[in-house]
């Protein structure tokens, strides 16, 4: 109900009235600051929004529809140079102060802020307060600081209402009444109703808004119909008409303002703003501006480790030269949209495309994709190229980075259109493509149709890019006269080559190694006695590591960390930057880790996660078997204790210890005999027994040979016990 710059009239308990302007409202709509516009020495007042609502409900607060300082909204060309000069001088004096909201409205903070400005400018405190109060009272605009002048009549001046209704009389006024006069109070009801019922995301028609307004603000009484409370409207001649309401709305709001209120600024800027130029604009030539953006591909892919593993949808990063529409950089992976993916795409813009295509089994000539440069300006979304990471790009290559405002993806229309083209080309041919428009209940899950690996899908996208660069005709391209005279074909490669020949100078050429060094992702690896360990389990080695015996040192003195760079598209190598940061050394995967060779980091991480999943799934089963094993061991031990207790002989500890050697010898011979039985015949076993037992062991056919040996051992123990 209350908005900034509203003018309200408040009646005090003693009957005094004063007019205030709302200066600021907090995001939670809890507190606000106001200032009395008629009081000369007034300063901001802190109020609660709930108190204002209470005053309004008690009819102690009303709204002013007219702006008492409407002259401040004059056009610039209607102001004299003298007045504009004085206004600008005042503005320069207080512009820093008024930016400190809401601190400037608090007495203590205001004094501190003004004192700081006085120390800077040596102006008087009274001058600051004078201009601040004028600025606040007159609407918080720069023109509020204009010098006073008499407000003259003319076009747009509010009409003075009498007791007679303005406008054309009603046709049946004698029957239905003449209608009401649209006073300031009625206009205020109109305005509140529009804000409450029309300028919302519900997008109610104006007629619906009118009916809701009548139901809310023009009610004489209520009645109950079958338990439902229903309002009774005022008499017809006391109600505004829809025509009056519509006329007021059309007069009050411009068409742009209407759409902005209904859709919001973000959606208006995207869908309804005027488009008076092209993306090419005033671009001089190739490299003046590159656009970068990412999209999630509408296709599911599988892992190169195991094609039965569905690993989701890849992310495509594209960098396009705005002048020629040439795709200058590409990255396809599972990371993003993020700075990580943006770096990979930018790194690709400075890479040799012949080598890049060869990695994916595509043979091209240099002239088919002859682009290995960085631009003068890079346009991107706020998310990827905003913050700390982008400083590396700016400081290393002097590239100007521009970020589109939030929800203004239309500022990168060229690259957005390219994504649509890619999806159109690949959709009919790739299994696992997401087609939500035709999927109905009972249809086969398209994710189960995933067939391509990330490597294979990248190959498809590269071929789409090559087709775009070398064969796509740009129907909507805006040629200039020089292009027309030279009869340039509107194909990205032709426009690029023409621009290089006729309008070069904006492209930045850097060694590919240096670009990679600054743009490839950085991380920490650990030197261990098993190799240079990175990304959990991957191990590498390098020429320097072997020459300086890093791994031997790590075994003797412990491991240590080193900085590295890596290319997430191919984890066969990592890169060790030199101390001066101008070069790097390549470290290669160890032979027994060749399963990670030529794999992307996303695939490697997916493999690690899969291994972890399998391990965790097996943990419960293994824990159960461990419990079973412990139970079995415990049972054997308990059984042995019971047997030991039954056969226990009372002998001294010394005799027990002294008999160890003889006991061991008897047990060893018994074990030999038992094991020999498996290989020897019966006669051999009998002969062996006779040799071992001698005359001391009687032949008892009721006992086994092993039992006879054990009986002999027990007799010796018993004999020792009796002697004791």
Is pLDDT at 211 greater than 70 in this prediction? yes
User: Of the candidates 470, 497, 524, which has an alpha carbon nearest to the alpha carbon of residue 286?
Assistant: 497
pLDDT class of 527 with cuts at 50, 70, 90: very high
For residues 208 and 198, what is the distance between their CA atoms, to the nearest angstrom? 8
Say how far apart CA 566 and CA 578 lie, in whole Å: 14
Which residues, 6+ apart, have CB-to-CB distance to 241 below 8 Å? 179
69-73, 438-442, 456-460, 478-482: which has the minimum mean pLDDT? Answer: 438-442
**pLDDT tens digit string along 101-131?**
889 999 888 999 999 989 888 888 899 999 9
Q: Which of 118-132, 355-369, 505-519 comes out lowest in average pLDDT?
A: 505-519
Q: Which two tokens stand for residue 119?
A: 């120390």
Tokens, residue 311: 């690993």
Q: Which residue has the higher pLDDT, 430 or 232?
A: 232
Tell me what the pLDDT averaged over the chain comes to.
76
Could you tell me which of 277, 240, 543 has the C-alpha nearest to residue 410? 277
- Percent of the chain at pLDDT > 70 equals 70
User: What value does the mean pLDDT take over residues 694-715?
Assistant: 55
Contact 571, 539 (CB under 8 A): no
pLDDT digits (tens, 9 = 90+) for 13-38: 777 888 999 988 887 788 999 999 88
- Average pLDDT of span 163-171: 56
Q: What percent of the chain has pLDDT over 90?
A: 10
For residue 475, give the 3-state DSSP assignment: coil
pLDDT tens string 390-430 = 666 665 666 788 776 544 444 445 555 655 655 555 555 55
Q: Where residue 77 falls among pLDDT bands split at 50, 70, 90?
A: low
pTM above 0.75, yes or no: no
Kindly state the average pLDDT of the residues 698-720: 57
């Amino acid at each position: 109900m209350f908005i900034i710059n509203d003018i309200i009239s408040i009646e005090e308990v003693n009957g005094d009235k004063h007019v205030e302007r709302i200066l600021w409202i907090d995001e939670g709509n809890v507190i606000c600051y106001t200032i009395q516009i008629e009081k000369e020495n007034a300063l901001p007042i802190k109020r609660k929004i709930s108190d204002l609502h209470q005053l309004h409900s008690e009819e102690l607060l009303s709204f002013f529809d007219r702006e008492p300082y409407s002259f401040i909204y004059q056009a610039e060309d209607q102001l004299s140079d003298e007045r504009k000069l004085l206004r600008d001088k005042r503005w320069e004096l207080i512009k820093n102060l008024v930016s400190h909201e809401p601190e400037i409205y608090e007495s203590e903070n205001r004094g501190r802020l003004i004192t700081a400005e006085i120390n800077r400018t040596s102006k008087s405190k009274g001058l600051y307060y004078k201009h601040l109060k004028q600025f606040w009272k007159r609407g918080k605009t720069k023109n509020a600081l204009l010098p006073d002048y008499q407000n003259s009549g003319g076009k747009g001046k509010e009409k003075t209402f009498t007791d007679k209704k303005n406008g054309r009389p009603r046709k049946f006024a004698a029957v239905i009444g003449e209608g009401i006069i649209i006073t300031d109070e009625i206009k205020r009801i109109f305005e509140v109703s529009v804000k409450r019922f029309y300028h919302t995301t519900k997008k109610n028609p104006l007629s619906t808004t009118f009916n809701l307004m009548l139901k809310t603000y023009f009610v004489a009484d209520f009645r109950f119909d079958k338990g439902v409370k229903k309002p009774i409207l005022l008499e017809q001649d006391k109600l505004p008409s829809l025509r009056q309401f519509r006329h007021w709305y059309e007069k009050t709001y411009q068409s742009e303002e209407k759409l902005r209120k209904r859709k919001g600024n973000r959606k208006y800027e995207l869908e309804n703003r005027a488009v008076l130029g092209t993306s090419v604009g005033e671009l001089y030539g190739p490299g003046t501006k590159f656009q970068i953006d990412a999209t999630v591909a509408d296709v599911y892919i599988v892992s190169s480790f195991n094609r039965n593993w569905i690993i989701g949808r890849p992310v495509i990063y594209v960098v396009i030269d705005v002048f020629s529409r040439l795709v200058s950089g590409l990255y396809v992976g599972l990371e993003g949209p993020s700075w990580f993916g943006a770096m990979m795409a930018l790194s690709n813009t400075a890479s040799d495309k012949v080598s890049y295509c060869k990695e994916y089994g595509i043979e091209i000539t240099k002239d088919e994709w002859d682009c290995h440069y960085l631009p003068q300006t890079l346009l991107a979304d706020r998310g990827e190229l905003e913050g700390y990471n982008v400083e590396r790009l700016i400081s290393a290559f002097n590239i100007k980075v521009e970020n589109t405002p939030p929800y203004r993806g239309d500022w990168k229309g060229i690259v957005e259109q390219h994504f649509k083209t890619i999806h159109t080309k690949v959709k009919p041919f790739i299994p696992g493509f997401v087609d939500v428009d035709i999927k109905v209940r009972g249809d086969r899950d398209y994710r189960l149709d995933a067939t391509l690996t990330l490597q294979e899908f990248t190959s498809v996208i590269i071929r789409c890019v090559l087709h775009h660069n070398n064969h796509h005709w740009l129907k909507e391209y805006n040629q200039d006269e020089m292009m027309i005279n030279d009869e340039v074909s509107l194909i990205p490669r032709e426009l690029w080559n023409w621009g290089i020949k006729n309008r070069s100078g904006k492209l930045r050429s850097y060694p590919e190694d240096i670009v990679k060094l600054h743009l490839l992702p950085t991380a920490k690896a650990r030197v261990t006695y098993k190799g240079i360990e990175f990304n959990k389990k991957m191990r590498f080695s390098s020429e320097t590591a072997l020459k300086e015996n890093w791994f031997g040192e790590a075994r003797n003195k412990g491991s240590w960390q080193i900085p590295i760079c890596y290319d997430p598209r191919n984890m066969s190598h990592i890169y060790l930057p030199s101390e001066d940061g101008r070069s790097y050394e390549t470290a290669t995967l160890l032979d027994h880790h060749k399963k990670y060779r030529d794999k992307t980091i996303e695939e490697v991480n997916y493999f690690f996660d899969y291994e972890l999943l399998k391990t965790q799934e097996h943990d419960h089963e293994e824990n159960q078997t461990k419990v079973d094993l412990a139970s079995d061991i415990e049972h054997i031990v308990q059984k042995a204790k019971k047997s030991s207790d039954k056969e226990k002989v009372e002998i001294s500890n010394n005799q027990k210890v002294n008999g160890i050697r003889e006991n061991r010898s008897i047990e060893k011979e018994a074990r030999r005999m038992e094991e020999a039985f498996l290989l020897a015949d019966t006669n051999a076993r009998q002969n062996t027994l006779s040799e071992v037992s001698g005359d001391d062991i009687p032949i008892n056919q009721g006992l086994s040979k092993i039992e006879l040996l054990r009986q002999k051992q027990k007799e010796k123990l018993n004999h020792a016990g009796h002697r004791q």
